[in-house]
Amino acid sequence: MTAETLNVRLAAGDDAALAECLRAHSALIRSYLHRFVPSQEIEDVQQVVFTEIWRSRSRFDADRSLPAWLLSIAHNRAVDHLRVRSLPTVPLDAVADPPGADGRTDGDGLADRDLVRRALAELPAPQRQAIELAYYGELTQREIAERLSVPLGTVKARTSRGLRRLSGILAPAA
């Protein structure tokens, strides 16, 4: 059975073609998903990918590359899967205050830290989360983007807007 024949049969809606496609390309899709999806969730996402392949088989052009088409669907379903996941964040109250320059808690800084915490609580959740991960989690913007599964530009915008809002919130107190 040639790849062209499988392409034509899949595009025509042949039930057996999906099973052959699954056998022929399962390892490729699993390997691709492994780059994006946690290992314990790969099977679920792969099932969604093959369901999508069957549902959208009429849009497949039999003259094009089947593996490329399959990987584009796998990519889209992996992104969808990651978007709906919510990652745990550490509440700001659970993070210990850093010690002062001499190793002891800085008494003067406690009031300022409390003021900053209250100001952070006024920010929209995405902006607050980006700032907390950057300053309390000590993550780079790229690491924050990876952790939140959002584009780097989104993290930069959230951080910038959040810091601008914080400045406005804290300015009257100064």
Phi, psi (degrees; rounded to nearest 5) at 93? -65, -25
Of 84, 115, 131, the last residue of a domain is 84
User: Any idea which residue has 């052009």 for tokens?
Assistant: 61
Structural domain range at position 145: 92-173
Q: Based on the structure, what is the number of domains in the chain?
A: 2
Contacts of range 78-84, beta carbons closer than 8 Å, 24 or more positions apart: 78/32, 78/33, 78/36, 78/37, 78/45, 79/36, 81/37, 81/41, 81/44, 81/45, 81/48, 82/36, 82/37, 82/149, 83/149
pLDDT in tens, 52-88: 988 888 788 888 888 999 999 999 999 999 888 776 7
Looking at the structure, do residues 96 and 28 belong to the same domain, yes or no?
no
| Same domain (yes/no): 101, 152 | yes
What is the predicted pLDDT for the residue at 77? 94
Distance CA 69, CA 29 (A): 11
Q: Is residue 143 domain-shared with residue 79, that is, in the same domain? A: no
Write out pLDDT tens, residues 1-32: 567 788 888 888 787 888 888 888 999 999 99
Q: Which residue has the higher pLDDT, 115 or 99?
A: 115
Quick one: three-class SS letters along the chain? CCHHHHHHHHHHCCHHHHHHHHHHHHHHHHHHHHCCCCHHHHHHHHHHHHHHHHHCHHHCCCCCCHHHHHHHHHHHHHHHHHHHCCCCCCCHHHCCCCCCCCCCCCHHHHHHHHHHHHHHHCCCHHHHHHHHHHHCCCCCHHHHHHHHCCCHHHHHHHHHHHHHHHHHHHHHHC
At 46, the pLDDT band (50, 70, 90 cuts) reads very high
Maximum pairwise Cα distance, the chain: 77
Do both 97 and 127 map to the same domain? Answer: yes
Query: 97 and 119 share a domain?
Result: yes
CATH number for the domain harbouring residue 74: 1.10.1740.10
pLDDT at 93: 67
Q: Rounded to the nearest 10 degrees, what angle do helices 107-121 and 152-170 cross at?
A: 120
Last residue within a domain, chosen from 54, 84, 114: 84
Q: Give the residue from 55, 84, 113 where a domain finishes.
A: 84
Q: What is the pLDDT of residues 106-144, one digit of tens each?
A: 555 666 777 888 888 888 999 989 988 988 888 898 999
Average predicted confidence (pLDDT) for the chain: 83
Q: Are residues 119 and 77 in the same domain?
A: no
Domain at 146, CATH number: 1.10.10.10
pLDDT of residue 44: 92
